[in-house]
Structure 1
Amino acid sequence: MSKRLIIGISGASGAIYGVRALDMLAALGVETHLVLTKAAELTLASEGLPSSAALKERASFVHKIADVGASIASGSFKTDGMLIAPCSVRTMSEIASGVTSNLLTRAADVQLKERRRVVLMLRETPYHLGHIRTMAAVTEMGGIIFPPVPAFYAQLESLDAVVSQSVGRALDLLGVEVKGVKRWGEDVGPV
């Protein structure tokens, strides 16, 4: 089986991260299972990104947010992990509590119970203590909190390059190597 990843897009700003992840994974032949929240569909439009219909064409499989009986809702459906890009605090909070209300958070809960990687590109700031405690809870469960912070050392020259670098680094955590990611000590910095 080739790599198989779940890609979730929640309603936080930064839907471009999920769009870019789908494009990068498609170029590598990775099987993707996409779940979009209702708020994500609104965010796509407000951020001038492809419509949800156009985005769904980029994924190998698309699952409806309300379909808690989908394949990705079961631990017996093998995957190599899950990326939620972007991840809202609400989505992260549902995952941390284990009380899920839709397929996106159910799929993340299943990945964690199966001890698979779950990477959350958390896109809200600043944080209050409740957010920090929630991040700690997800981390203690085995999830990875990955705010898309620019890698200034890479001397990236465009917003597009910053997005690609951030998504590439998040995909590293799921065992997917993307060409073009600038690495300290290899492409930049001391050699």
Structure 2
Amino acid sequence: MKRQRILLALSGASGAIYGLRLARELARRDVELTLTATPSGRLVCREETGLDLSGDPVEAGIRLAGHLGLKTAIRVVAPDDLFFASASGSAAPDAMIVCPCSMGTLGRIAAGISANLIERSADVMLKEHRPLLLAPRETPLSEIHLENMLRLARAGARIIPAMPAFYHQPRTLDDMIDFVVGKILDQAGFENSLYRRWSD
């Protein structure tokens, strides 16, 4: 059986920990995972988590795996590599997730702008009717933000805001992070037990 190909992108919104936790969970599954991050996404990741994703992509993949406690490196690609497979409709990944998703990135995707690998890959996912999951992390939301999210939802994207819940009675910060990551995995079609489900 062919391994599912997942493209995970980190943009410049706060909340890099969500993307890294998601990368760890996906890497533990039998998927072909590729990660890319915008320049501002790399800066935010370093500021918030201490992980440096800059420089040579191969070395960044090794650092990423070490940070996540994984034994094998994760493939990292440069955000301006428009020759990477996901930039072509004939080689689109099975799913793409932008987590965290800045309102700038979300707005450019909504406008059909394809200036970098993340934007072009998202454009490909929409035109090929493949799963595109966006995890915006912003507050408060302006009318422009809301209109862009509605436009993308109507185009087929799934909007999963980074909004922790409390019905599962989280006790730690990890519990709150895992709730959001679990919700994203749910929408991507991956079974998980990262949070306690609601039950009678």
CA 1:128–1:78: 2 relative to 1, 3 Å: closer
Contact 2:101 2:134 (8 Å CA) reproduced: yes
Aligned to 1:16: 17
Aligned to 1:55: 64
Equivalent-residue separation in structure 2 for 1:44 and 1:180 (angstroms) = 22
Cα offset, 1:78, TM superposition: 4.3
Equivalent-residue separation in structure 1 for 2:108 and 2:86 (angstroms) = 17
Equivalent of residue 141 in structure 2, options 119, 127, 138:
127
Alignment: residue pair count? 186
Aligned to 1:159: 173
Aligned to 2:130: 116
Cα offset, 1:60, TM superposition: 3.6
List structure 1 runs of 4+ shifted beyond 3 angstroms.
56-60
TM-score normalised according to structure 1 size? 0.92
Equivalent of residue 101 in structure 1, options 109, 115, 124:
115
State the Cα deviation string for residues 25-49 of structure 1 (Å, max 9, x = none): 1112221111110001110111133
Equivalent-residue separation in structure 1 for 2:92 and 2:133 (angstroms) = 17
Amino acid at match of 1:7: L
Cα offset, 1:182, TM superposition: 1.8
Amino acid at match of 2:159: I
Aligned to 1:33: 34
- Residue identity (%): 39
Unpaired segments ≥5 residues, structure 2: 54-59
CA 1:60–1:46: 2 relative to 1, 3 Å: closer
**Residue aligned with 1:130, SS:** helix
Aligned to 2:196: 182
Equivalent-residue separation in structure 1 for 2:77 and 2:18 (angstroms) = 19
Unpaired segments ≥5 residues, structure 1: none
Cα offset, 1:77, TM superposition: 1.4
Contact 1:165 1:181 (8 Å CA) reproduced: yes
Contact 1:10 1:37 (8 Å CA) reproduced: yes
